[in-house]
Chain A
Amino acid sequence: MASINKKRTISFVDAINESLHLEMKRNKNLLCYGLGINDPKKIFGTTKNLEKKFGSNRVFDIPNSENSILGIGIGLAMSGYPNVVTHQRLDFFLLAFDQLINSASKWFYMFGKNSNIPITIRLVVGRGWGQGPTHSQNLQSVFSHFPGLKVVIPTNPFDAKGLLSASIRDPNPVIFIEHRWLHNTIGDVPKENYTVNLGNAKKISSGKNLTVISMSYMTVEFLKILKFLQKKISIDFIDLRSIKPLDIKTIKKSVKKTGKVLVLDTGFKFNSISSEIITQINENCFNFLKEQPKRITVPNIPEPASFGLTKYYYPSLKNIIDEVSLMTKIKFNQKELKLFLNTFKSKYHDVPGDWFKGPF
């Protein structure tokens, strides 16, 4: 872990960029590629100056061949070239499932530990601004189903940098999911190269009345209301950071203490990470539960593109507060709540902030 000497605030995008620069410098064989990686926009700025610094042999654009590109990456990874492939939307990467599932995830096992596949797959997930059904899917649960894959989903710049460096150094294939609405968030990030262990959740706050387990953009949503809720409720708030390996130890410890758990998930409800977490809680901590476990996710519906429909699609801050209130039987003064929620009121519900003007 890093020693934070001097505070320095940078964006999530710059944290990703910094990790890539530091890791490419650290490992002379590391390759970085993806559609648009060297174009003028440099994958939302995450790959800026990489080609300039490390050359076009190590940093290169690719044809639109997601499946074969992953296969080529697997071939490179097993012959001494660990690599990072980036897709500007996760949904395009679904074309690569043969190589991901039939090759990358099980190569080490299937060939009796002869070859491992050190490959990091960066996938960006969109939300709102008409992203619609095929530019917004949070499929962490799908990837986590397959033995042999690791799945990482950072929430803030510090973790983004440390988790990406750890993923790159990991000898296994790692799916690294970046929520587009987190790209412009800022946070304290040390300048030096450090890693954050895959498989360790982060405890954001400690409490005894309720456990809240969250991930990615839902963590940011809950952070907005945490202080308000803490006025009346003592909350154990856990940001997963890694979906797989799942830090079940931290989860169990917390649930045994609070007896109440709410899971916030950015994915579809059916067969989601929240389903898995609640199942594992039932299997491991059933006798400690004082209340039935609850979850808030997006519904089992594709995200519609229309501005008129997305306002019904995503859970609101009020939905979360109401659920917490119901579970803990602690009521909030409605007038006070309304005033509080008004501080977040934006003209548009489909952007991370009014500054966001698209296009994607």
Chain B
Amino acid sequence: MCSLIRQVELEIVNRYKEGKMRCPVHLSIGQEIVASVLSIFIKKDDFAVSTHRSHAHYLAKQGSLRKMIAEIYGKRTGCSMGKGGSMHLIDKNVNFMGSTSIVGNSIPIGTGLGFSLKLKKKKNISIIYLGDAATEQGSFYESINFSILKKIPAVYICENNFFSVYSDLKVRQHSKRNIINSLNSLGIKTFKITDYHPVKLVNKMQYIVNYARVNSKPVFIEFLTYRFYEHCGPNIDDNLNYRKKEEIKKWKDKDGYENLKKFLIKKNQKLFIEKVEYLNRKKILNAFKFAEKSKFPNKSDLIDGIYK
């Protein structure tokens, strides 16, 4: 999964300059490991919602790749009929219920989806992806409070990449603030991921997901991670010097994708990696071909779907 996401995103980078993907793209490159590990333990009937940076989350939930690429191309065959773009992905066949662009917006919606599972007495969970900036939003605390109150099986997973666009955590939060401590005192079970060894990561994630599922209770996970490309777009923007060179290097060394590869090579799985990458490549080229060939929505689609 990790490899598929990385390869898809790199293909978007390669082709973006063609000018056919005429919408903002927020790439997950550097952060794929979060959704990839989680994907091992997510069931089809589990819900998921996400943010503006949602390609990885959508694909990890088994969302249709070709519908995602067609959506970025603005085509009628896209997952949102070309009306949502990269920031509004949905695939209800796999219960990926929607990603939205406003920071903190999808958190209560995912909480409500989790509440519906509770009311239906189902053993499923609702995955709510968010970034570090969302922990500055009221909707985050409001939703967590409600989840604890109603014992909602929701997994709030925060990908902390330290930046909201170009605004560092330092200019947004007091240096002594600790999100885990704050949430502990609210009464939600919390976890912080700092060890990126593939086996340890998988074991820990299994424990966390299982905890939410079995106990029907919300959990919060903080996952420190790093985006390698610009906030929005296909370029690397390290020339702007808003992040220290040493910091970038440190995080590139921790790259979950590369580490996973190294781990597998050590276990003599080089052939397996090549096979996976080859199959992914084929799938990706097909998806782009599908998107290119698909038609734009019709003029009549413009006014269609305002009301049901």
Contacts and interface: CB of A to CB of B under 8 A. Distances in A.
**Looking at A68, A69, A76, A108, which has the most chain B CB atoms within 10 Å of its CB?**
A68
Interface string B281-298: 000000000000000000
A68 B111 contact: yes
Contacts of A306: none
**Looking at B90, B105, B106, B116, which has the most chain A CB atoms within 10 Å of its CB?**
B116
Interface residues of A, number: 38
B81 A113 contact: yes
Contact of B112 (A63, A71, A98, A148): A71
B102 A75 contact: no
A103 interface: yes
B116 A148 contact: no
Contacts of A76: 112-113, 115-116, 119
**Looking at A62, A75, A113, A116, which has the most chain B CB atoms within 10 Å of its CB?**
A75
A83 to B, nearest CB: 9
Interface string A318-354: 0000000000000000000000000000000000000
Interface in B95-146: 97-98, 100-102, 104-117, 119-120, 126, 138-139, 142-143, 145-146
Contacts of A68: 107-108, 111, 138-139, 142-143, 146
A171 B307 CA distance: 8
B92 interface: yes
A114 B308 contact: no
Contact of B108 (A79, A99, A110): A99
Contacts of B114: 75
A73 B92 CA distance: 18
B83 A74 contact: no
A181 interface: no
B265 interface: no
Contacts of B198: none
B234 interface: no
A121 to B, nearest CB: 14
A111 B147 CA distance: 26
B305 interface: yes
Contacts of B165: none
B105 to A, nearest CB: 6
Contact of A98 (B78, B83, B139, B146): B139
A81 interface: yes
Given A68-B108, A68-B143, A98-B139, A112 B305 contact: yes
**Looking at B100, B106, B112, B306, which has the most chain A CB atoms within 10 Å of its CB?**
B112
B36 interface: no
Contact of B100 (A81, A103, A147, A172): A103
Contacts of B304: 113
A98 B105 CA distance: 7
* Chain B, interface SS category: mixed
Contacts of B305: 108-109, 112-113
Contacts, number: 143
A292 interface: no
B142 A113 contact: no
Contacts of A172: 307-308
A70 B138 CA distance: 13
A70 B107 CA distance: 11
B166 to A, nearest CB: 23
A74 B116 CA distance: 11
A78 B92 CA distance: 11
A102 interface: yes
A79 B305 CA distance: 19
Contact of B92 (A62, A72, A109, A114): A114
A99 B306 CA distance: 17
A57 interface: yes
Contacts of A70: 108
Given A68-B138, A116-B308, A75 B88 contact: no
Nearest to A67: B139
Interface string A76-119: 11111100000000000000001100110001111111111000
A76 B110 CA distance: 9
Contacts of B111: 68, 71-72, 75
B102 A72 contact: no
Contacts of B126: 75
A65 interface: yes
A112 B81 contact: yes
A71 B143 contact: yes
Interface string A189-218: 000000000000000000000000000000
A266 B114 CA distance: 40
A81 B118 CA distance: 12
Contacts of A73: 112
B47 interface: yes
Interface string A45-67: 00000000000010000110101
A322 to B, nearest CB: 41
Contacts of B115: 72, 75-76
B149 interface: yes
Given A68-B111, A76-B119, 20 more contacts: A65-B142, A68-B138, A71-B112, A72-B111, A75-B109, A76-B115, A79-B97, A80-B116, A81-B119, A98-B139, A99-B109, A108-B305, A109-B306, A111-B88, A112-B79, A112-B84, A113-B304, A114-B90, A114-B98, A171-B308
Instruction: Pick the 7 closest A-B CB pairs, nearest first.
Output: A75-B112, A71-B108, A112-B81, A68-B142, A65-B142, A72-B112, A79-B116
20 contacts: A65-B142, A71-B105, A72-B112, A74-B109, A74-B112, A75-B49, A75-B97, A76-B115, A80-B120, A98-B102, A99-B105, A103-B109, A108-B308, A110-B83, A111-B83, A114-B79, A115-B97, A171-B308, A172-B307, A172-B308
Interface of B: 47, 49, 78-84, 88, 90, 92, 97-98, 100-102, 104-117, 119-120, 126, 138-139, 142-143, 145-146, 149, 304-308
